[in-house]
A and B are shown apart, each in its own frame.
Chain A
Amino acid sequence: MKNIINKKDVEYVARLSRLKLKGEQTEKFTRQLNTILEYIEKLNELDTSKTEPTSHVVPLRNVRRKDFQKPSPTVEEVLKNAPDKERGYFKVPPIIE
């Protein structure tokens, strides 16, 4: 198995994703992610020097809508699945600036 990413990279990505990894998980994910990346690396064998960069595979373009307002769901409905709420707001753990 190649070492495309190491433990440090995984820890960094975990931090960016706000994930707490427990001891052996870091090692395990490093191993698993390397396997995935190694598999994906196969794509690099293709010669793409003459291919335009592609961001979308569906040949769609210019999908636009009119600036017409539609009713929004009620606040009750909006907050129905919220773990916590107060006076019509979503209530979340304190955000420290």
Chain B
Amino acid sequence: MEYEPVIGLEIHAELATKTKLFCSCSTKFGASPNSQVCPICMGLPGVLPVVNEKAVEHMIITALALNCTITRQTKFDRKNYYYPDLPKNYQISQQYFPFAKDGFLEIKLLGDEKKKIGIGNIHLEEDAGKNIHLENGKASLVDLNRTGIPLVEIVTKPDLRSPEEVEIFMDTLRDILLYTEVSDCKMEEGSLRFEANISVREKGQTHLPPRVEIKNLNSFKIVLLAIKHEIERQTKMLEKKEKVLQETRLWDEEKQITRLMRSKEEAHDYRYFPEPDLPPLFISEEEIEKIKKEMPELPNVRKERFITKYRMNEYDSRIILSDKETADFFEECLKLGENVYPGTSIFSKDIANWIAGPVTRYLNEHNTPLSKTQITPQYLVELISLVNKGLINQNTAKNILPEILEKGKAPQEIVKEKGLIQVTDEEEISQAVDKILKENQQVIDDFKKGKTNAFSFLVGQVMKSTKGKANPQTVNKLLKQKLEIL
């Protein structure tokens, strides 16, 4: 029997506002406990919440990016439950008129196949605080700094069919939230959190079996591990003709399994009712249109454009589109490049290679974003044209890159200062080759015996003796010629 998983996700993302959803406390991460709270988010009696307009804006952007229909008259509801991290004893959420619904997100599967993943609804709610459980088990400590931070909850339809699809979906969604600056998506700071609903059925069936909800998924890696484990667990049960029950499970990081969450039956009786302290929210056509006009091109759309228009490969596009800043930098370079090399797609390939290659390598090694370096699109274009005009070779260019990134010096200036102009004069290179050959009789013998790395050693020696300025192609050509007649 063949089985298939049916997976839906619930995503919570903290919205990138400066202040909380219903009060003017800071949302900054990492502040000392209870230093960013006020009577409103502490739930003291007699206070009135007021909606943050920026949070509403972020919601409209999210709704548009996920192709949802925006609810024009939306309101808030109280979700009642008792837990010390929520001092009001209810969370303000949106149960009956979610902010937007019926959308989709198109993901690109391997092999260029596209698939639309349905979005059931997205709604706005407030985050809860943080509990720390003392090791002696005698007390818990509560920090309310996170209480009241705006969250968007995105609920997908059960359209995902494999852990691979889940991974692509999560990547695509995160890119969009980052790109539109709706959320900073820092999983390690809890800005992005996932829950998964999973069931397994015989392939070909269309009914939805009882689903198992998995909570406590704190990283992309754990989401995938937990889903894989849960698919396996349910498949084994079905093979043994056991019944899978609807239940909530937790990811157990230590044992690397999902385990049943202990909970009383009535735990889900949230007794929702309309929030009387917040008047309804009307979203106007003008408001939506205005935001639509100001929205940046979405990363998935931009990627499509980069691939078709600039013939960028998948790898390069992934790196260049990983954040908006890098993608903007790339396009800025292209605009400048147009003046130097009108209408050449070769040039766009060069820029892509440089950004995805040496520049990204430097950024990773130094763990720094592009914005913190001194390089400008002008400098990168200048550097590439120095190589393309044959004035310096690729290696020299790579060697001076750190200086451009760190000091913001113009490539031409560095080249002039250090005398790095490439030697293309065959006569000069020929002399250098002769000198190296004379000094390395043993290596020549090795080469004649078929040792291939002897040749690259000789190339290296010639390059070294010319301080890396010799044109590598010419060195190769001359070395080959000379070795043949030796």
Contact = CB atoms under 8 A, between A and B. Distances in A.
A47 interface: no
B131 interface: yes
Interface string B34-64: 1111110010000000111111100000000
B252 to A, nearest CB: 12
Given A15-B266, A79-B34, A67 B17 contact: yes
B24 A68 contact: yes
Interface string B5-26: 0000000000001110000111
Contacts of B142: 89-92
Given A55-B280, A70-B24, A94-B140, A12 B266 contact: yes
B33 A89 contact: yes
B contacts with A: majority SS: loop
Contacts of A62: 279-282
A42 interface: no
A75 B34 CA distance: 6
Given A16-B266, A16-B269, A72-B25, A91 B139 contact: yes
B58 to A, nearest CB: 10
Contacts of A56: 75, 274, 276, 279-280
Contacts of A92: 84, 139-142
Nearest to A60: B279
Interface residues of B, number: 50
Given A55-B274, A65-B52, A67-B52, A95 B34 contact: no
B83 A64 contact: no
A43 interface: no
B137 A94 contact: yes
B38 A72 contact: yes
Contacts of B274: 55-56
User: Number of contact residues on A: which range applies?
Assistant: 35 or more
A61 interface: yes
Which of A70, A79, A90, A94 is most buried by chain B, counting CB atoms within 10 A of its CB?
A90
B206 interface: no
Nearest to B96: A55
Contacts of A58: 279
Given A12-B266, A63-B51, A89-B132, A69 B24 contact: yes
A68 to B, nearest CB: 6
Contacts of A45: none
A60 B51 CA distance: 13
Nearest to B44: A81
A94 B280 CA distance: 38
Given A67-B17, A67-B54, A75-B35, A16 B271 contact: yes
Contacts of B54: 66-67
Interface in A46-96: 55-56, 58, 60-70, 72-73, 75, 78-79, 84, 86-95
Given A88-B35, A89-B143, 17 more contacts: A12-B266, A16-B266, A55-B276, A56-B280, A58-B279, A63-B279, A65-B53, A68-B24, A69-B18, A72-B38, A73-B38, A91-B139, A91-B140, A92-B140, A95-B84, A95-B133, A97-B262
Interface of B: 17-19, 24-26, 32-39, 42, 50-56, 75, 80, 82-84, 131-134, 137-144, 262, 266, 269, 271, 274, 276, 278-282
7 contacts: A55-B75, A62-B281, A63-B50, A73-B38, A73-B39, A75-B33, A87-B141
Interface of A: 12, 15-16, 18, 55-56, 58, 60-70, 72-73, 75, 78-79, 84, 86-95, 97
